[in-house]
């Protein structure tokens, strides 16, 4: 099956800093979503982005489907951005496959 | 947008008893729902695909007799952990697939259920 790799596994920032999270996948995808899992476990959909670039406030994402990677940009980070960021893809079936996540800690 | 409701949020049960977890799509019909399990500090692992009106499809290694899935309507799927044991303690999350207009099929998640078996 498809492999999804996220980097870095852990990231510690000071409030106000910018960051880039990366997701590599091993095959072509029909769907790619970025999620934020908050400390209570809720998965919040950030972007549906199988290709192209999207922006939502301080967050933006870019997927280069031909090179099989996606990037999530967080600008002017806030403590509420802390949590785990997951990249998940669908390839050839309806199953959503998750990467191992990037744990982000934003310190005040 | 699409909303998925999952109950209960947490449950503690005695070893040997069964626990039912409900997953509802509130503002859309979901012919397909998914159940995931997440261990502490790990990613989500797909357990099974729940199809309305038919049997669930389980991933390799998941015991279908222990994790009973029922998808009796277009808005409700249930996961029953039968004869629960401490090793079944985990965070269980459901998801529903929905067509998001012109962009394609997107996935929305419930808030999860933290199961502790004592």
**Which DSSP string corresponds to A13-52?**
EETT--EEEEEEESS--SEEEEEEE-TT--EEEEEE-SSE
Chain B neighbors of A45, CB-CB under 8 A: 106-109
Interface of A with B (CB under 8 A): 30-31, 33, 35, 40-43, 45, 48, 50, 86, 88, 90, 94-101
Q: Measured between CA atoms, how close is A99 to chain B, in angstroms?
A: 7
Write the pLDDT tens digit of every residue in A34-53: 999 998 899 999 999 999 99
Q: Which of B42, B43, B46 sits opposite A95 (nearest CB)?
A: B46
Q: Over pLDDT 70: what percentage of chain B?
A: 100
Check CB contact of B51 with chain A, cutoff 8 Å.
Answer: no
**pLDDT value of residue A67:** 97
Mean pLDDT of chain A, nearest integer: 96
Encode pLDDT of B20-75 as tens digits: 999 999 988 888 999 999 999 999 999 999 988 889 999 999 999 999 999 989 99
Round to whole Å and give the CA distance between B71 and B67: 13
Contacts of A100 in chain B (CB under 8 A): 42-43
* Rounded Cα distance, A19 and A13, in Å: 8
Phi, psi at residue A81, to the nearest 5°?
-80, -10
- Nearest residue in chain A measured CA to CA from B97: A94
Distance from CA of B91 to the nearest CA of A (A): 8
DSSP β-bridge partners for residue B11: B115
Residue B76 φ/ψ, nearest 5 degrees: -140, 130
| Bridge partner residues of A6 (DSSP) | A23
């Amino acid at each position: 099956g498809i492999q999804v790799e996220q980097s870095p596994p852990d990231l510690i920032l000071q409030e106000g800093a910018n960051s880039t999270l990366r997701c590599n996948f091993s095959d072509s995808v029909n769907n790619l979503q970025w999620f934020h899992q908050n400390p209570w476990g809720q998965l919040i959909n950030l972007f549906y982005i199988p290709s192209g670039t999207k922006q939502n406030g301080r967050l933006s994402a870019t997927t280069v489907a031909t090179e099989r990677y996606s990037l999530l940009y967080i600008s002017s980070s806030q403590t509420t951005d802390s949590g785990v960021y997951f990249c998940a893809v669908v390839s050839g079936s309806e199953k959503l496959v998750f990467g191992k996540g990037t744990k982000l800690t934003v310190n005040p | 947008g699409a909303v998925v409701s999952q109950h209960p949020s947490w449950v503690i049960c005695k070893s040997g008893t069964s626990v039912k977890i409900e997953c509802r799509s509130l503002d859309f019909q979901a012919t397909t729902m998914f159940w995931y399990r997440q261990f502490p500090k790990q990613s989500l692992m797909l357990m099974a695909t729940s199809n309305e009106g038919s049997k669930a499809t389980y991933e390799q290694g998941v015991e279908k007799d222990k994790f009973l899935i029922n998808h009796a309507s277009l808005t409700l799927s249930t996961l029953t952990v039968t004869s629960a044991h401490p090793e079944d303690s985990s965070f269980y999350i459901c998801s529903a697939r929905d067509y998001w207009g012109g962009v394609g099929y997107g996935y929305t998640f419930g808030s999860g259920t933290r199961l502790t078996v004592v």
